[in-house]
Amino acid sequence: MPRFVVQEETFLAGMDKEPGHTPRLSDGTERNISKAIKWYTAAATQGYAEAQFDLGEFYMHGYGGVERNRKEGFRWYLKAAQQGHKFAQYETGQCYMMGSGVEKNEAEGLKWLRKAAEQGNHKAMHDLGGLLFQARDRARQSGRGSKMEQDGKRTSR
């Protein structure tokens, strides 16, 4: 992983993601979000997955006064996800599932949610479990039953 070093005050300025208020350093001085975004972008461009994920958050949600841009947010999530960042993998999966910043693609969304879950991301595990229950319920309503139920009936005879 590339090593990226910046002044702590500048880099951490972007960590306060609450919309609608001016973040401040511990000594009371105002943080400079535009400088923070510049440093995050520099780190992300060098391949630092955590900075890529954080940029995705800033753009996807419009944190810190950054103009919301879902396509740009998705782009940074995907870069971090491709490096194995489990939170970015979850967000990438969510974007694909909902069509947020990218064309909706449930198969691709499931792929990324599964990757995140395999790394222990609890949100991904929860979402996948919910999707399995929904699929089971739809199968029951259509009269087919789930594959697991059909397999169980065959072996229990």
Rounded mean pLDDT of the chain?
81
What's the maximum distance between 2 C-alpha atoms anywhere in the chain? 73
pLDDT in tens, 132-145: 888 888 888 887 65
Higher-pLDDT residue of 17, 74 = 74
Q: Where are the domains of the chain?
A: 1-68, 86-149
Please list the residues that pair with 24 across neighbouring strands: 30
Cβ atoms of 112 and 92 within 8 Å: the answer is yes
CA-closest candidate to residue 95, choices 120, 79, 78 = 78
Cβ atoms of 90 and 63 within 8 Å: the answer is no
pLDDT band for 48, please (50, 70, 90 cuts). very high
Instruction: Kindly report the pTM of this predicted structure.
Output: 0.71
